[in-house]
Amino acid sequence: MGTRFGYARCSTNESRQDIERQVRELQQMGVDRKNIFREYESGSKINRVELGRLLVTVKPGDEIYATEVSRITRSTRQLCDIIERAKENRLKLVVGSFVVDCTGDELDPMTDGMLKMMGVFAEMERNMIRQRVKSGIENARSKGKRIGRPCLALKDIPAKVMSTYEKYKDGLISKTDYAKICSISRPTLDKYLSVMGDV
């Protein structure tokens, strides 16, 4: 038997709790934690870094696990491409309780069709969600509500960022050091500095 690999995906890095749930489920399916590829990207995006890394890592006889088909992709076309790659490389796909064994000479047509149908439903779900979000935004705008994140003000900037600002302005510390001292990322620091008048 080949190596078991897992793929866990969430749309944004704000869904860490959800991706950890997927990781736990993959471990329960027998995948070693070190062999689980984690990604924070839309399921409709074709060129995903971690999925690409996974697909070039697996070798004939290996197994790819995901908790559900929508985690691998929400695009029927991409799912078909992945199935074809699994056939060419004699891989086994395990999606939840659904097994697609391509390690033999020929894939059962019923299994092939069922997986593709699951991909169609995943894509339909994505399109319905997108439509609901668009409708909700239009409805909110028609009622005069502001859409998007609230504007950042000086009062919203952490005290540590404010107290360290003079050292940065005087050239005593770099922007990278500034971010480390305040335990924030560079992009977050840039947002604060734009309010403080530096960027």
Angle subtended at Cα 26 by Cα 24 and Cα 32, rounded to the nearest 5 degrees: 95
Annotated catalytic residue, options 11, 15, 42, 44: 11
Coil, strand, or helix at residue 187?
A: helix
Distances (CA, A) of 41 to 32, 80, 93, 149, 187: 22, 19, 21, 20, 19
Tokens at 130, concatenated: 């997108």
Residues sharing a CB contact under 8 Å with residue 187, sequence separation 6 or more, in sequence order: none
Tokens at 109, concatenated: 């047509």
What distance in Å separates the CA atoms of residue 111 and residue 98, rounded to the nearest whole number? 9
For the question of residue 163 being annotated catalytic, the response is no
SS (H, E, C) 108-138: CHHHHHHHHHHHHHHHHHHHHHHHHHHHHHH
Catalytic site residues? Answer: 11
